[in-house]
Every structure is written in C-alpha cells, then in structure tokens.
Structure 1
Amino acid sequence: MISYIHLPILAFCSFLLIFMHRFWVCVDRMGHMKEVSRRAPSLVQRDILAAVFAMVPFAMAVMDWFEITMPRQAAPIPPLFCVLLSIGCVCTCLGILQNTLDRLAGSWSGTRESALRTVAALRIIEAAELAYAMHFIQQTEAKAASAERIINANQREVRK
C-alpha cells in the first residue's frame, strides 16, 4: 500500500536540503570555505549530520512504497512505522539546526547575506579574542614590571 503522507515530509526535507546546499555554495563562491570550515568546524559537521537526517525520510518512503524487506525480517516495514521514523528524523534534523535556521534563507540573495553575516561574525569573534589576548598579555607584563620595581626598591632599602 502506498501512503501519500510521505509527500509533505519529503517536500519539507527537500527544501531543507536545498537551503543548506545554497548556504554552502554561497560560502564557497565567496571564497571563504576554508576559513569557515577552519574557524567553525562544528558548523560544517552539524550541517552534514542534519543533511543525513533529512535524507533518511527519502529512504523510508522508498522502503514503504516499494515494500522493501529489511534483512532478517519476514515482512516489509509497516507504513505507519515508516512515517513515524520519517517524522522522527525530520524532528532530529530540526533539533540539530535549532539555532542556525536563520541562516537558511529561502532566496539566493538572503542566502548570500547570511553567508556574509556568518563570515563577518567569525572574523569579529576572532578579532575580539585577539584583543582580549593582547590586553591580557599587556596586563601580565605590567604586573611583572611593577613587581620588579617593588623588588628593586626593597633591595635599595636593604642596602642602606
């Protein structure tokens, strides 16, 4: 029996996959693919994992529609179970992309903008970390210099 409930699920997954693909194409076209993958490796890994979970409903639909029997099973997977697995995979995909859905725009211009925002945010974060590190080193050097002055002053008092 063919269950058509898979069709809206597959349409939603297709849109998610297209939006993720557009984002990474825009990052690559801007020439910042290595930079983004180096500075934010979890972003790449999270999108790959979400894409895998977004592709599972396609396999579930094929298994349901063509009544494919899994190894060591006597009968095909029931259609309701396939639908539940598909919905679970979509929910898992959305959970993985929970805080990153704003960068998955519906148009090429929005996707380019979100790719540019991502690159800019990574550069701002790196600049802030560098400024903090320089400030911390400066404070450490200042403390060491003041401690050296105090030691020198104490040594002069001892000599008198």
Structure 2
Amino acid sequence: MISYVYLPMLVLSAFLIISIRRFWICADSMGFMRELSRRAPMLLKRDIMAAVLALVPISMALIDWLGITLPRQSVPMPPLLGVILAAGSLGASVAVLHNTLDRLAGSWAGTRESVLRTIAALQIIESTELGYRAHAHTKPIHAERTLNVIQSKDEK
C-alpha cells in the first residue's frame, strides 16, 4: 500500500525533468545558450542538480517495486525508508529551483516565452547595474543647489 505513495512524487518528478529539459532545448533552439551561460552561469548548474535530485524518486520506486537488494544489504530496503528518501530528494529538487519555478512551463509556447522573459530580465539587471556603476562614479551637478532650495522652503 505504501508503494502507491510514489505515484504523485513520480508525476512531480516527471514534470520537473521534462520542464527543465524543455527550457534548455528552447534556449538552445532560439540561440540564447551562450548568453544564458554568460549572464547566469549558475542557472544550468542548478537545473542539472535539480534534475538529478528529481530522478531519485524514480529510482527509489523501482528499487521498492522490483524488490532490488542494494549492495551490502541482506534484505530489500524498507518501503517507508524509500518513500522518505524519495520525498526528501524531491523536496531538495524543488528547493534548488525555489526562485526559478516560474520559468518552468507546461507547454512549448510557455517555455519559449519563459526563455524570452529570462533573457529580458538578465538584460534589465545588467543594464541597471551598468547604469548604477556609471552614476556612482559621477558627482551630481545640482545636488548642492537642490539641497539649498529644500532648506529655503523649510525655513519659510
């Protein structure tokens, strides 16, 4: 009976793996792989880590359902332990993707839009950082005059 607990975990694992794969296929087909790897190098690494963690429930279910005995064990793994390990790894997979779950879409069209939103967000962040660096090194011209105007209004 406890073996059926794997089914919702397998559905979520399959969705995560398929969505991650689809995102990177779309990014590659649209020609944004280099730009994504340059601007967000941890994005691919996190996705790979999340996909590997999402594969653990599949392996735990197979080990439990087929009664496979692991090396250096005399009996098969207890089903409750398998469920706990599968749920923990699935939770870790979702935790790795905690800020990026919005870019995982359920369709190809949504995934293409997600790739474009990701690229646009990275470009906005880069241009904002560039603008901040440019303004941080220059002294505002009218800062003293503005301060005098504010003080004179407060004095009245």
TM-score (norm 2): 0.83
**Shift of the alpha carbon at 1:26?**
1.2
Q: Which residue of 2 aligns with 1:52?
A: 52
Task: Write the distance in 2 (CA, Å) between the matches of 1:36 and 1:83.
Answer: 36
**Shift of the alpha carbon at 1:8?**
2.1
Q: Which residue of 2 aligns with 1:70?
A: 70
Give the 3-state SS of the residue equivalent to 2:73 in structure 1: coil
Q: How does 1:1-160 map to 2 (within 5 A)?
A: 3-139=3-139
Q: How many residues align?
A: 141
8 A Cα contact 1:23 1:115, kept in partner: yes
Q: Which residue of 1 aligns with 2:148?
A: none
**Shift of the alpha carbon at 1:2?**
8.6
Runs of 4+ in structure 1 over 6 Å off: none
Q: Which residue of 1 aligns with 2:152?
A: none
Give the 3-state SS of the residue equivalent to 2:15 in structure 1: helix
Task: Write the distance in 2 (CA, Å) between the matches of 1:37 and 1:55.
Answer: 24
Task: Write the distance in 1 (CA, Å) between the matches of 2:2 and 2:67.
Answer: 9
8 A Cα contact 2:16 2:54, kept in partner: yes
**Shift of the alpha carbon at 1:136?**
3.1
* Higher radius of gyration, 1 or 2: 1
- Residues 31-80 of structure 1: per-residue CA shift (max 9 Å, x gap): 01011011111111111111010001111111111211122111110111
Change in CA separation of 1:83 and 1:136 when aligned onto 2, cut-off 3 Å: same
8 A Cα contact 1:2 1:65, kept in partner: no
Task: Write the distance in 2 (CA, Å) between the matches of 1:9 and 1:82.
Answer: 12
Unaligned stretches of 5+ residues in structure 1: 143-160
Task: Write the distance in 1 (CA, Å) between the matches of 2:138 and 2:71.
Answer: 65
TM-score (norm 1): 0.81
Give the 3-state SS of the residue equivalent to 1:3 in structure 2: helix
Amino acid in the other structure paired with 1:66 = L
**Shift of the alpha carbon at 1:117?**
0.5
8 A Cα contact 2:2 2:80, kept in partner: no
